[in-house]
């Protein structure tokens, strides 16, 4: 009788031991899954931080010579506008590639270049790229008091966003690409800005000179600050649109205008690149 009781106790003890080990093993499995998930989250967070550091907004912020421009960029929420534009207009260029065979081929080449650059820097393939002609602090010092007050105004965001969009192109253009475009356009290349009006580019010796809609001129004094979603060129004067109430980037009518507005030049660029 006592032996039977001992056997029953031993059996229950064995079952309890096995249950405890299985429970511990289950906890270990849960911990491993949780640790792996945490590791993946940390990697994604770290990559996002790296990506943010590579964006043109971060490049502008780190350039002390662009602090005035950066204040306007930040105050008028340009980065948020670019993010919204990328979200709402994905595939816009693709929709326009059927215009002509030459345009289709050129757009494909440009898209491939952008994808390669963004992949190398850890960004999402196909993200839109931009060119910024950013005025230096000295350039803003040369404005009139009225113009500076207008730039710093918090009451005229639409006007100031249009002025900043006039300094931006919906395409990545390095200094060498600009030089080639000028040379292939008989010395004067027209650039369609995101605001909708044009900037013209010419060469003065080795310098690239930009002219705004009113004839004001600026030189590129610092070129090719590369970001994951664009490139920055520092200029020595503030270029301004003629009509600051116009802003095609905000109204959604400026979609792929750099390619369509300069079809002949775009085809030339395809041959030279």
| pLDDT score at 53 | 85
Distances (CA, A) of 82 to 53, 73, 207, 229, 244: 16, 11, 29, 10, 19
| pLDDT score at 9 | 57
Tokens (6 digits) for 237 = 């004067």
Mean pLDDT (the chain) is 75
Mean pLDDT across 266-272:
42
pLDDT above 60 for 237: yes
End-to-end CA, the chain: 96
Mean pLDDT across 79-85:
84
Interatomic CA distance for residues 196 and 204, integer angstroms: 26
Distances (CA, A) of 150 to 72, 146, 160, 238: 11, 6, 8, 13
In angstroms, how far is CA 179 from the centroid of its own chain?
A: 22
Cross-strand bridge partners of residue 230? 130, 227
What's the Rg (C-alpha) of the chain?
28
Tens of pLDDT, residues 11-57:
556 656 665 565 555 556 666 666 666 566 555 444 444 457 889 99
Look at residue 51 and give its three-state secondary structure.
Answer: helix
| pLDDT score at 187 | 95
Mean pLDDT across 253-273:
42
| pLDDT score at 11 | 59
Tens of pLDDT, residues 101-160:
444 333 334 433 333 443 444 344 457 899 999 999 999 999 999 999 998 888 889 999
Residue in the structure block whose two tokens are 């060469």 = 203
pLDDT above 80 for 74: yes
Look at residue 249 and give its three-state secondary structure.
Answer: helix
Q: What is the DSSP letter of 136?
A: P
Cross-strand bridge partners of residue 199? 191
Tens of pLDDT, residues 207-222:
999 999 889 999 999 9
| pLDDT score at 82 | 85
158: left (phi over 0), alpha (psi -120 to 50) or beta: alpha
Distances (CA, A) of 208 to 177, 202, 236, 267: 11, 6, 11, 21
Tokens (6 digits) for 41 = 């989250």
Interatomic CA distance for residues 110 and 101, integer angstroms: 14
Interatomic CA distance for residues 70 and 58, integer angstroms: 10
| pLDDT score at 7 | 56
Pairing type for strands 217-227 and 230-235 reads antiparallel
DSSP string, 139-199: HHHTS-HHHHHHHH-SS-HHHHHHHHHTTEESS---HHHHHHHHHHTTT-EEEE-TTSSEE
* pTM for this prediction: 0.65
pLDDT above 90 for 60: yes
Please enumerate in sequence order all residues whose Cβ is within 8 A of that of 56, keeping only pairs 6 or more positions apart, or say none: 130, 132, 227, 228, 229, 230, 231, 232
């Amino acid at each position: 009788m006592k032996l039977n009781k001992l056997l029953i106790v031993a059996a229950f003890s064995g079952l309890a031991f096995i249950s405890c080990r299985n429970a511990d093993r289950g906890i270990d499995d849960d911990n491993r899954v949780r640790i792996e998930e945490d590791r993946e989250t940390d990697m994604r967070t770290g990559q996002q931080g790296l990506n943010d550091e590579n964006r043109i907004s971060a490049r502008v912020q780190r350039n002390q010579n662009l602090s005035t421009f950066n204040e306007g960029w930040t105050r008028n929420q340009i980065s948020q506008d670019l993010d919204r534009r990328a979200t709402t207009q994905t595939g816009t260029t693709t929709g326009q590639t059927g215009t002509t065979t030459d345009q289709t081929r050129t757009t494909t080449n440009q898209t491939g270049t952008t994808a390669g650059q963004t992949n190398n820097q850890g960004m999402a393939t196909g993200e839109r790229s931009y060119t910024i002609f950013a005025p230096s602090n000295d350039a803003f010092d040369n404005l009139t008091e009225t113009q500076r007050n207008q730039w710093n105004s918090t009451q005229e965001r639409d006007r100031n966003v249009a002025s900043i969009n006039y300094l931006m192109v919906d395409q990545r253009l390095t200094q060498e690409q600009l030089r080639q475009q000028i040379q292939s356009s008989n010395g004067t290349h027209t650039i369609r800005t995101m605001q909708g009006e044009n900037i013209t580019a010419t060469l003065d010796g080795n310098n690239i000179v930009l002219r705004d809609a009113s004839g004001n001129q600026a030189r590129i004094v610092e070129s090719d600050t590369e970001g994951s979603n664009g490139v920055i060129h520092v200029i020595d004067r503030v270029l301004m649109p003629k009509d600051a109430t116009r802003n095609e980037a905000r109204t959604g009518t400026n979609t792929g205008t750099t390619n369509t507005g300069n079809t002949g030049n775009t085809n030339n660029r395809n041959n030279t690149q």
